[in-house]
Structure 1
């Protein structure tokens, strides 16, 4: 049976059964899925908000989208580029003096004082492409001195918002050497948090105010922000993580005392937002429409094309192989697909995942958006089976 969006209702039913299996097996308490193609939107809320609870998961449930914040922050930066308030290849020192006169470790495992001068200054392009020279070190905790220093300074990337206000956070970051030369290697996360500070300083307002005025309000994203107001907390489910010793699920963040229950000290451009599946669809649809949403134009078509094009060298992708392979890469704040080897890996597809169990991508070729919202933390950068099965199920539902 054909639908106007070219999706099979029978096969969408198959997707429901596959995703419901994760709830029935107790792997997640509940989840919400969305598949939109050619403007036809299918949303499915399955299970409960909490393990053993009786409050059902709903379409307007609010989720911690963590790193799915990154594409939004990158879009905000490109708004300022279009207004010539920021320039892609201008050093960021003008607004981020904490990052001037960088020093770089001679080697990853070396002492913090074994350093050389940076070959050049850090640019906005470096932040957008996560090639500024510092970020998540993908190794066991405290394996290297710089890892320990990053953690002790409260700068280690993770699923929770940073505890320090932006100026203090930048001061602490500025006290540490870079791990690699600017532009040399891709390192996850930290560049997006710095980008959020840069946007706030360039716009002379808090990051959330800028995002609200320039992205959230024009797109009707009424439930997206850096915290959940008290009146909406009942719509925020608990988040869960795997207990290392027992393998069972334990609460990571309880809505009754949630880290997201009050305005954060640091509005994290790398991972601080909460949102709903319909709010995030609006952002994805804007990006799919090359910057336009209804009567609103958020970005120009060339900006979106630039953001969603491959920005990494083959060597940089190989060095970050836990995130990328020979079929994927990174643009400006988004992961992109470059080669097809499965149902969902359509070249040109772009988006990203969130560490607390969310995934959202736009596919220009299929005129399609898919979003999965759970609240179970990922155990590693490798997508969990619930992500893999969602995307397989979404693409197998195409019926033309």
Structure 2
């Protein structure tokens, strides 16, 4: 039995055992994809189809990294440009005097935030487990990490983010998620264009990703589920978020896509495809973290792995990421093989993590 058939069997078994509502999985090599679907698009609903659209959640981030590098190649923005050149709202931020300290005890920034900091999640804002007060303040202002795009317009978002101190000096630690939202705002300001237009011109258009974008036909999206009372599936309102253009075009979690589209995107991370030069994609897929930064990323980045430009970097040239609403995609750059598993259930539901682990079988690991 080959790896694709074995992964399908495991996913079908998870469906039969009621650990998985449905799935689409696929593998791509040398420009050819194999895609399969199983289970249902909703509990008690129609069969899952191979062309189903899924909210990518954090699987949006690698596309954001590729978009940023495309604009770097064109000279629109430089990796070490201070972001306050385009986002003056972030020019005079304060920094917590202690990572776990009170929000009113701060010091000045000792260096500006750069595009490189945003791409590597080292800017100073993001997931802050060690400071619940800062996490709560971010959430209260709708600028905290989460599976959905912020419900704010870009200007309001920046103003709210700038009201709060950074968790640490830029370049010193690692703080997940928020840098990706700021990244989209930076690229839009630097280019004078909407993020959706940039994505269409530089990534989805050249790669022919017709089903990847910030809007979608809600009838093509399976019902998403999270863990409800007693761990039972509870429907989430995801489809309505993509009916029309969002107020905030998030590069952290704002795109929808199909397994077929995502496989084609991942394949482009082997050598750049039609969207990036080889040197740029190599830089994107290189681990840029220091050892102390890898230590603080524990629980988000797997042990023994690092982080490039919006992608996890695993040993052996494997890069990619997962999304909290139940999607995962990675590419083995040495073998030229990409794989993805998309499900309609979030990570907090029993069976989701087990199902997504089949991506490694699809890659042949």
Quote how far apart the aligned CAs of 1:75 are.
Answer: 1.0
Q: What TM-score do you get using the length of structure 1 for normalisation?
A: 0.87
Quick check: 1:24 aligned with 2:46? Answer: no
Q: Which runs of 4+ in 1 moved over 6 A?
A: none
Q: 1:319 aligns with which of 284, 296, 300?
A: 296
Q: Is the 8 A contact 2:59 2:327 kept in 1?
A: yes
Quick check: 1:137 aligned with 2:114? Answer: no
Quick check: 1:104 aligned with 2:82? Answer: no
**Equivalents in 1 of 2:155, 2:309: separation in Å?**
24
**Equivalents in 1 of 2:127, 2:116: separation in Å?**
18
**Equivalents in 1 of 2:200, 2:238: separation in Å?**
26
Quick check: 1:291 aligned with 2:272? Answer: yes
Quote how far apart the aligned CAs of 1:152 are.
Answer: 0.8
Q: Is the 8 A contact 2:127 2:178 kept in 1?
A: yes
Quote how far apart the aligned CAs of 1:26 are.
Answer: 2.0
Q: Is the 8 A contact 1:110 1:144 kept in 2?
A: no
SS at match of 1:187: coil
Matches within 5 A, 1:133-212: 133-138=124-129, 144-212=132-200
Specify every segment of 5 or more residues in structure 1 that has no aligned partner in the other structure, as ranges.
1-7, 339-346
Quote how far apart the aligned CAs of 1:163 are.
Answer: 0.3
* Structure 2 counterpart of 1:4: none
SS at match of 2:281: helix
Quick check: 1:364 aligned with 2:359? Answer: no
Q: Is the 8 A contact 1:318 1:324 kept in 2?
A: no
* Compared CA separation, residues 105 and 254, structure 1 to 2 (3 A): closer
Q: 1:253 aligns with which of 237, 244, 252?
A: 237
SS at match of 2:242: coil
Quote how far apart the aligned CAs of 1:171 are.
Answer: 0.9
**Equivalents in 2 of 1:281, 1:35: separation in Å?**
7
Quote how far apart the aligned CAs of 1:373 are.
Answer: 0.7
Superimposed CA distance per residue, residues 36-71 of structure 1 (whole angstroms, 9 cap, x where no aligned partner): 233342111111100111x11111110001111111
Matches within 5 A, 1:34-73: 34-53=26-45, 55-73=46-64
SS at match of 1:366: coil
Q: 1:377 aligns with which of 333, 346, 349?
A: 346
Q: What TM-score do you get using the length of structure 2 for normalisation?
A: 0.95
* Compared CA separation, residues 204 and 253, structure 1 to 2 (3 A): same
SS at match of 1:246: helix
* Structure 2 counterpart of 1:335: 312
Quote how far apart the aligned CAs of 1:392 are.
Answer: 4.1
Quote how far apart the aligned CAs of 1:325 are.
Answer: 4.4
**Equivalents in 1 of 2:17, 2:238: separation in Å?**
22
Specify every segment of 5 or more residues in structure 2 that has no aligned partner in the other structure, as ranges.
none
* Compared CA separation, residues 204 and 392, structure 1 to 2 (3 A): closer
**Equivalents in 1 of 2:82, 2:111: separation in Å?**
9
Bigger mean CA offset, 151-160 vs 323-332: 323-332
* Structure 2 counterpart of 1:355: 324
Q: 1:309 aligns with which of 280, 283, 286?
A: 286
* Structure 2 counterpart of 1:281: 263
**Equivalents in 2 of 1:21, 1:260: separation in Å?**
31
* Structure 1 counterpart of 2:224: 239
* Structure 2 counterpart of 1:220: 208
Q: Is the 8 A contact 2:4 2:27 kept in 1?
A: no
Q: 2:109 aligns with which of 108, 118, 130?
A: 118
**Equivalents in 1 of 2:143, 2:311: separation in Å?**
22
Superimposed CA distance per residue, residues 349-372 of structure 1 (whole angstroms, 9 cap, x where no aligned partner): 000001110000110122210011
Q: Is the 8 A contact 1:226 1:267 kept in 2?
A: yes
* Structure 2 counterpart of 1:269: 251
Q: Is the 8 A contact 2:329 2:359 kept in 1?
A: no
